[in-house]
Amino acid sequence: MKEELSKSKNVVSELQSKLADTEKSLKETKDSYVKDVEELKKKEADLASMETRLIDVTARLKEMEKKKSDEILDSFVEGFERAALQAKFIAPGVDFSELDPGKIVRDGKMVEDDDVAEDEAENI
């Protein structure tokens, strides 16, 4: 009986030791999980911030592209007006009222620039 009691005490002692190790491991796992959850929340907040910044940058880029397009158009119109004024200066008696920045000369006629682009696209 004493032997059995001694064996039982040894088994209980081993089991208690294993239980303590398991509890320690479980606590470490839980602590790691809590830390991972906190890091994930931080990364989610960072991602949301980056998404907001990306939207802002995209909006600014579109605005800059529109401004660039407007500046190019303004520059074209200004150049056309300068050329028309120079032509009127060189030939003051000539009627330049038919000048149109949206037209080109094709086959001896003034035609819309868009029509020419469409005709060329059909010929391709």
- Do 59 and 85 belong together in one domain? yes
pLDDT, one tens digit per residue, over 6-27 is 899 999 999 999 999 999 999 9
Sequence-ordered strand ranges (E) for the chain: 103-106, 109-112
Which residue, 88, 87, 89, 112, is CA-closest to 102? Answer: 112
Distances (CA, A) of 59 to 63, 64, 98, 116: 6, 9, 40, 34
**61 and 19 both lie in a single domain:** yes
Rg (CA), the chain: 41
DSSP reduced 3-state for 97:
coil
Number of domains in the chain: 2
What are 110's strand-pairing partners? 105
Domain that holds residue 121: 95-124
Q: CA 38 → CA 22, 48, 79, distances in Å?
A: 24, 15, 61
Q: Are residues 26 and 56 in the same domain?
A: yes
Q: How far apart are CA 88 and CA 104, in angstroms?
A: 19
Task: State residue 2's pLDDT score.
Answer: 83
Per-residue pLDDT tens over the stretch 30-65: 999 999 999 999 999 999 999 999 999 999 999 999
Global pTM reads 0.48
Average pLDDT of the residues of the chain: 90
